[in-house]
Amino acid sequence: MKLTDIYSKIISEEPYNDMDVFFANYESFEEIPLVSRYSRLKLLKDELSGSGASSFLTGLAVFLLNTLRLLEVSRSESVFFAVTFTDFEGLEEQGTLIPNIFIYPKPASVGFFGKITRK
């Protein structure tokens, strides 16, 4: 299978197929998983091993993060983005770790960043 086919089949079924979802007016934070249904992992798991699927999704998350930062600048938006991992039960059940794109309005993220960096 071609790499572009894998990306297309994963992304076409997810809300972030429309990148505007990352720039919606969120009052607080939001986390959007790269794969929102375990049934969609089958394609990746058929093509790659569990750890290979996790690595593929992590690479996709980093690609999306870089794309979002470019879009943020070009749109003069003010949003904080990060990659998070929260579904460790899914890792045990499915054998694949699914990253999320974390979204936080930048004016509010100043206080958030201070909270997470305090010792």
For residue range 7-55, what is the model confidence (pLDDT) as tens digits? 888 888 899 999 999 998 888 889 999 998 888 888 888 888 667 899 9
Q: Write down the mean pLDDT value for the chain.
A: 86
Total domains in the fold of the chain: 1
Hey, what amino acid is at 59?
G
**Domain containing residue 110:** 3-117
- Between CA 30 and CA 9 the distance in angstroms is 24
pTM listed for this prediction: 0.81
> Two tokens at 57?
């999704």
Count of all residues that appear for the chain in the document: 119
* pLDDT of res. 110: 63
Task: Provide the residue type at 69 as one letter.
Answer: R
**Which one is predicted more confidently, 41 or 83?**
83
